[in-house]
Structure formats: C-alpha cells, structure tokens
Amino acid sequence: MESKSSILVTCLIFATAFQLLLPLSEASLKVGFYKKTCPRAESIVKSTVRSFVRKNSGLGAGLIRMFFHDCFVRGCDASVLLDPSPANPDPEKNSIPNNPSLRGYEVIDAAKAALEKECPGVVSCADIIALAARDASFLLGKISYKIPTGRRDGKVSINAEALQFLPAPFFNLSQLEASYAIKGISLADQPSD
C-alpha cells in the first residue's frame, strides 16, 4: 500500500514538473527518447513485464488493454492510473470499463519502482504503460515494434470521460468505427514501423 501511494506521488510530481516544460517538450516523442537520460529504461520495463507475464500470461493481455484504455481518454498520459484525490475525486480508474476489470497495475508499479532506483524522476508512467503493452505484445504474440517515447503524465482523470470514449463490449461495427474515428483511427489504418 505504502509503495503504491509513493509511486502515485512520483507520478504526480512528474506531472507537475512536466507541466512547466510543456511548451518545450510538446511533439517531442521519438524512438529511444531515454537513450541518454536512462539508457536501460526500455530493458528494465521489458524484464519487469517478462517476469510477471511468465507467471500469468493473462496479465499481458491486461497491459495491452490498459494502454488502450489510457490512450482513449485524454491521450496516452497515464490518467488511467490516478487514484481518487481532491483534484480527481472520481477518476477513470473508478469507471465501469476499468473497475474492476482493468489489470496489470502491479506490473506498472514494479517497473516504476525499478526505474526510480535506476534513474529517479526521468521515465514517465505514460511511457511505462506504452512500453509494457509493446513488450506484452511480443511475449504473447511475437508482435514486435519500435515505439516512440517521451510522453508526459497527465494530472486530470475523470470517470465520465472513460464511459464517453471507451467503446462498450456490445458495440456493433458502426459504433466501433465511430468511436475509433473520434481518435483519428479508421478501418483502413494499418500498424506501421
């Protein structure tokens, strides 16, 4: 419990620090963003994900779903991780699509703790989710891709927005198409690398 809240605090400190840097850092995502500042960042996430997924492969699917649920609400900013607080009394985490079915929080917490030891205050939680989903895709399905990093953690998380943007499991094709279109993704989109 204690380590969980300290990780949350770390994420919040990030969000605050990066808020100030936003004009400088916007649109600066790139492959290998942490190459100089935290060279082992991606390998630390990968080995953390591997150790959890080996024991429970369902967690790998959970991490891919977490990335999807994070990105569809306010962009890929780790807003899905925020616990209730005075600033976010009813966060995304509480919403029907996420509670109680979203899985893998403990993997992100473990990776964040390892990264804080290696290079304190450098790697965002948003990037950890993105990398963890990528690593899970490889472990479960041998799908391998490079992913740009440099995301910043958001500070706002609202239950109702998760309900608004995440497609429901009973959506038909036209409803699914519409909810992806809101995020700029069409039926013709293909993965690229």
Binding site members: 70, 73, 75, 77, 79, 92, 167
**Rounded to an integer, what is the distance from CA 175 to the centroid of its chain?**
24
Burial code of 20-41, b = ≥16 C-beta within 10 A, e = fewer? Answer: eeeeeeeeebeeebbeeebeeb
CB closer to ligand NAG out of 9 and 176: 176
Question: Which one of the listed residues 44, 63, 64, 69 is annotated catalytic?
Answer: 69
Q: Is 168 in the site for ligand NAG (CB under 6 A)?
A: no
Pattern 75-114, binding to ligand NAG, x per CB under 6 A?
----------------------------------------
Instruction: Spell out the alpha helix ranges (H) of 26-92.
Output: 41-55, 58-71
**CA separation (Å) from 92 to 36, 50, 124, 158?**
33, 27, 18, 5
Indicate the annotated binding residues for Ca(2+).
70, 73, 75, 77, 79, 92
Query: What is the smallest separation between the CB atom of 175 and ligand NAG, expressed in angstroms?
Result: 5
- Angstrom distance (rounded) from CA 57 to CA 136: 9
Residue 95, class by beta-carbon neighbours within 10 Å (0-12 exposed, 13-18 middle, 19+ buried)? buried
For position 175 contacting ligand NAG by CB under 6 A, the verdict is yes
Decide if residue 174 touches ligand NAG (CB under 6 A): yes
| Position closest to ligand NAG via CB | 172
Answer yes or no whether residue 172 interacts with ligand NAG by CB under 6 A.
yes
HEC assignment per residue over 86-118: CCCCCCHHHCCCCCCCCCCHHHHHHHHHHHHHH
**Any catalytic annotation for residue 78?**
no
| Contacting ligand NAG within 49-68 (CB under 6 A) | none
Nearer to ligand NAG, 94 or 179 (CB): 179
Q: Which residues are catalytic?
A: 69
Binding residues vs ligand NAG (CB under 6 A): 172, 174-175
